Chain A
């Protein structure tokens, strides 16, 4: 009975428009008081506060905060739409046919499949969650989540442009990122427990497909968007507060320099399509340290941690983030030592 009676968009499609109850007093909507307060604050702030909000440090912070949000939003919308489309239009049976049945084999296949989703990490979190809700093994979806922002063609081309004459950097980035994704997937398969991971339920069968699509997109956008803002707040603050010289001063020390750049990648939260240019600008560091920056950045950073904790739950992020960070540093050190 839940199917027809809920707010099903298509249920009204054939009804006369406007419906006969059109124009009656709306019942039980209630005033959205929270939103009224937001608007009141905006208007009052515009006149009262705005003249005082002009310090250069605050403005720089705001520019970076808005830039991260504005830059990530189109990718987030794209990812959320793709995820909702997976939930609404692709039948669950497709995934059982497309991916190998044994999860241990499905992990590397899903990791490699990450190469076809063009976009940065903000898009991959909702897509991975959509895959899980459609019955894809969590380990495989996680391998996809880690691999896709790092090894897709756009990112690889950007890396090649940022490091002219160093094609091995592109190869090393691809190899190290894919390896980390697969290793994390396998470890999750072997040691991960189902109750650590919150998989969002989706796609009730009674609803129309478009209804499911719109509802899923709306919910994901509100949810992931909120956490994106958390990450952007943290990244912008650290970007302005922590002087870059602190990081650069350790450039000469072999192991510390790798850790320093890995940490910088987490703090800066730069989009994976742009991080190669930033890595190239850190001239004082060794190629291996730069590789660590490129491998860690798309997998672990502040806005991603916020997004993952929001999407899959805190107990997931507490385990997944340190595991990924450690493996990313170790693997990129090894690959850098071999190739660069």
Chain B
């Protein structure tokens, strides 16, 4: 790999990282929102390293050209300037590691595939339910009566499974998520992926929606409804998705922050 190519690949990669972090919200499809400053810093450092390399290379070649000119002059004047700037090629990094070409691959993935946030394909792959949330006394404030309460899918599951006060009972709530079809008839899942760090560790949080026809798979929806308590106390908590009886399903555009 030529030194110029090394610098250009670094600039390409740094530019791509800056493009998804500093100049758009695309990074939210891959990592948590709080990660943005680190991404911008990393992209800037990579870009600057590439730029420094290019400038250096420019100067080196200019110097080489001047040495050659000087050598030509010297040859005419029976040179006394020979050997002035030798050793340019003594450095062994002129041909860098070939593996560095692979740094172009993330750029290819970003520009050609433009990977979207994980959706129903990824969510359907994981069939195990999320872990039962820890039992924390008094962690859940009672829901106010009135209009439907907006809450995250994670909070709904937590209240459904881990709340002894049954604060969900009879209270209308509104959940936002994307649509995942269910194997069982007459229901579908409103789903949100949960990230711990990046999309590689994403985990689907699913709530089964009953009593409403499903919007197209992978589209985003706002589901208003009430919790259906487990009919049988024998079913251990955390083995099946909690259920919601839907009164209203509204299709919406995908939110900027696709993960919980």
Q: Which residues of A contact B (CB under 8 A)?
A: 1-2, 5-7, 9, 12, 19-22, 24-30, 32, 34-35, 38, 41-42, 45-46, 49-50, 53, 56-60, 62-71, 73-74, 76-78, 81, 162, 164-165, 214-215, 217-219, 221-223, 225-227, 229-230, 232-233, 235-236, 239-240, 243-245, 248, 268-271, 273-278, 280-281, 283-284, 310
Question: B86–A62 contact, CB under 8 A?
Answer: no
Chain B, 57-79, contact with A by CB distance < 8 Å: what is the 0/1 string?
Answer: 11111111110110000000000
Interface of chain B: mostly helix, strand, loop or mixed: helix
For B201, give its contact among A45, A222, A236, A270 (CB under 8 Å).
A270
Q: In the complex the two chains form, what is the Cα distance from A230 to B100 in whole Å?
A: 10
A276: chain B residues at CB < 8 Å are 196
Question: B196–A274 contact, CB under 8 A?
Answer: yes
Stretch in B34-42, B150-158, B207-215, B242-250 with 4+ CB within 8 Å of A? B34-42
A50: chain B residues at CB < 8 Å are 112-114
B241: chain A residues at CB < 8 Å are none
Residue of B nearest to A218 (CB): B49
Tell me, rounded to whole Å, the shortest Cβ–Cβ distance linking B130 to chain A: 6
For A218, give its contact among B10, B121, B238 (CB under 8 Å).
B10
B68: chain A residues at CB < 8 Å are 27
Task: Verify if B256 is at the interface (C-beta below 8 Å from A).
Answer: no
Question: A70–B31 contact, CB under 8 A?
Answer: yes
Task: Verify if B107 is at the interface (C-beta below 8 Å from A).
Answer: yes
Question: B53–A68 contact, CB under 8 A?
Answer: no
Residue of A nearest to B100 (CB): A222
Residue of B nearest to A310 (CB): B99
Q: Which residues of B contact A (CB under 8 A)?
A: 1-2, 4-6, 8-10, 12-13, 17, 20, 27, 29-31, 35, 38-39, 41-43, 45-46, 49, 52-53, 56-66, 68-69, 85-88, 90-91, 93, 96-97, 99-122, 125-128, 130-132, 134, 136, 196-201, 203, 218, 238
Q: In the complex the two chains form, what is the Cα distance from A164 to B139 in whole Å?
A: 14
Residue of B nearest to A236 (CB): B200
Question: B131–A281 contact, CB under 8 A?
Answer: yes
Question: A226–B61 contact, CB under 8 A?
Answer: no
Excluding A5-B85, A233-B105, A278-B201, 18 further A-B contacts by CB distance (< 8 Å) are A12-B59, A19-B59, A22-B62, A24-B66, A30-B4, A35-B9, A62-B113, A64-B118, A67-B29, A162-B196, A219-B96, A219-B97, A223-B97, A248-B128, A268-B200, A268-B201, A271-B201, A277-B203
A164: chain B residues at CB < 8 Å are 134, 136
Tell me, rounded to whole Å, the shortest Cβ–Cβ distance linking B19 to chain A: 11
The 20 listed contacts between A and B (C-beta, < 8 Å) are A7-B88, A21-B69, A26-B65, A27-B64, A34-B1, A56-B218, A60-B121, A64-B118, A64-B200, A73-B17, A73-B43, A76-B42, A78-B42, A221-B10, A221-B49, A222-B6, A225-B13, A245-B127, A245-B128, A284-B128
Q: In the complex the two chains form, what is the Cα distance from A248 to B134 in whole Å?
A: 22
Tell me, rounded to whole Å, the shortest Cβ–Cβ distance linking B29 to chain A: 6
Question: B97–A70 contact, CB under 8 A?
Answer: no
A7: chain B residues at CB < 8 Å are 56, 59-60, 88, 91
Looking at B45, B63, B201, B203, the one whose CB has the most chain A CB atoms below 10 A away is B201
